[in-house]
Amino acid sequence: MTASTALKKRRTVDRKALLKAVATSTAVETGKPSHAIETALRTRKSRFKSLPLS
């Protein structure tokens, strides 16, 4: 696979999937329930609103 082929096959990730992945990873590291972490991530106000995630 060449570099140009790899760039063409990029997928976009929606916000829900990103939050679930972060929550699950954090839950594994901290031992807390992933649904609690996901809820906290969804409700928390962003400190860096000027920085886009794309």
10 vs 28: CA distance, rounded Å: 27
pLDDT, tens digit, for every residue of 10-46? Answer: 888 898 999 999 999 999 999 999 999 999 988 877 7
Find the mean pLDDT for residues 46-54.
77
Tokens of 53: 């995630």
The answer to whether 38 touches 17, Cβ cutoff 8 Å, is no
Q: What is the pLDDT of residue 2?
A: 62
